[in-house]
Amino acid sequence: MHNTLNAWADKLQHAVFPALPQTVAELTRLSADDNVNMWNLARVVEKDPGLCVALLRRVNNGSQKRLRTEVTTVEHAMMMLGMTQLRALPKAIPLIQRTGDPVGREQALHLMAQSYHAAWQARELARLRKDLEPDEIFLPALLHHLGEILLWLYAPAKMTQIEELTAQQQMEPEEAQYVVLGFGLDHLTLMLARRWGLPTLLQDSLKSESAQLPRVYGIMLAVQLARAAAQDWYRAATTSVLEHIAEHLGHDFGYTAAHIHRYAVEAAHMADCYASIPAATLLLHPSQPEAALGWKAAPQPAENQGAARSQIMDMPTEAVAAFCLAPQLHILHRSLQELQAGMKAGNLTLQKILSLTMDGMHDGMGLNRVVFALLTQERHQLRARTIAGADNDPVFNRFLIELNGAHLFTRLMEKPQALWINDTNRVKFWPIVPKPFQRIIGGNSFFLLSVFVKERPIGLFYADRHSMDCELDPHAYHRFKQLGLLAAKAMEMVSGEKE
């Protein structure tokens, strides 16, 4: 994955993210006035991801970089750049009408509009959470699809392939991305964000394992909400996102949904630079049976929300696709060989071990979701250290296991062992799988392997195939144990070298 990802990042690093003609014209008009209010200018710039990227890159590449802390908001970036350079900025950026082909431009514009809706929701939801700096939430949500937008503009044929696989083969978009590109689009955005020095909060929101951070989790949920609402506000997948947002905010469902609907209308009023139909319009056109039956007419009592969420997760929704990743055994063999060679040469790091192991399990074995969960310093929790295959699933990305009481995972932390939960042993083991964990994974068949270093537990590997239609098998379990045990051995060697 990494070689292909680096190649695409190299190709797009110097690509120009185009601007929208309406925002460029409005910025040019307003900035001509020496007494213009900076807040009014910022409201114009933040509508346009292209202007925002150009603004941040200009600040990061200029002399201001050595004299400041990180720039996290549009207003801060504009103040750092100054009015003279800000007036010149629109002239240095091509308009989107001159970039790409018609199909790619249309898709890019649709994604930009969706991103603006996500950013507006993210900032307003942060205010509801009483975030101390809600404006810092806006840019990470706005630029979350940066890599995807650039590929629609500069490699539309690849993106069309992904769209076709998603529609025709019922693949999850993330899996189709791996098939066509060899990596997920979030990884491309993350690499570009690092190279361009974009806000750390954006970079964190593109790492699955960062979902444990409340601000990052809020951004991820807002991105998911905008994506789901662009299809239909009243389908089960959107309902599920709303449920999780309500839980995140600590409010009941009805209160949360009412605010989110209002924010959608506000975003639609502001986003006059996009020709696409705003998500708020779809609030008036329910198309699913859930709406006809009086969808969420009243807020649920808090004690019923968990049960309702479980019912939603059990429903056959659009979110769970019947696509099974094909094993790529050459990748598995490469991971095994590089781990063995690194152990022999003594040049491995924990990050390299995990990178090779995750590639081998996800790409090499065709396991859809793979996690290495690290035992926390207090030894009270297993918390996701790295995740593969769940780029756009913020709920799963909050992979966390509390080690309190007697259950499956406290037993796994007693000695090195592997386990495959399947039809033959589910009756025995399922009752001791913690309920919160069952809700996170949304399935009932998976692999586990506890990792010990010097006879002390340090974490575990988890893997599944996500969909009920993609069964785990003995060959995959054998390979999972083989690679997991080799990774554990490599970790022990690295630990010994540090002493």
Q: Give CA–CA dist 64/420, Å, rounded.
A: 55
Pick the CATH number of 99-314 from 3.40.50.300, 1.10.3210.10, 3.10.129.10, 3.30.1360.170: 1.10.3210.10
**Predicted pLDDT of residue 466:** 77
Convert 352-362 to b/e letters by CB count within 10 Å (16 or more is b): ebbbbbbbbbb
**Predicted pLDDT of residue 73:** 95
**Predicted pLDDT of residue 301:** 39
For the chain, the residue count is: 499
Structure tokens at 411: 């037993």
Domain boundaries, the chain: 17-96, 99-314, 329-498
Structure tokens at 88: 């010149």
Q: Give CA–CA dist 338/335, Å, rounded.
A: 5
Strand-pairing partners, residue 388, are 370
Contact assessment for residue 47 and residue 116, using Cβ atoms and an 8 Å cutoff: yes
Q: Give CA–CA dist 464/414, Å, rounded.
A: 23
Superfamily (CATH H level) for 329-498: GAF domain (3.30.450.40)
Q: Give CA–CA dist 405/454, Å, rounded.
A: 25
Q: Please check whether the two domains, 99-314 and 329-498, share a CATH topology.
A: no
**Predicted pLDDT of residue 271:** 87
Model confidence, pTM = 0.83
pLDDT tens per residue, the chain (499 residues)? 667 899 999 999 999 899 999 999 999 999 999 888 889 999 999 999 999 999 999 998 765 555 567 899 999 999 999 999 999 998 889 999 988 899 999 999 999 999 999 999 999 999 999 999 999 999 999 999 999 999 999 999 999 999 999 888 777 888 889 889 989 999 999 999 999 999 999 999 999 999 999 999 999 999 999 999 999 999 999 999 999 999 999 999 999 999 999 999 999 999 888 888 899 999 987 654 444 334 443 333 333 333 333 332 333 333 344 467 788 999 999 999 999 999 999 999 999 999 999 999 999 999 999 999 999 988 999 999 999 988 888 999 999 999 998 999 999 999 999 999 999 999 999 999 999 999 999 889 999 999 999 899 999 999 998 777 788 999 999 999 999 999 999 999 988 655 5
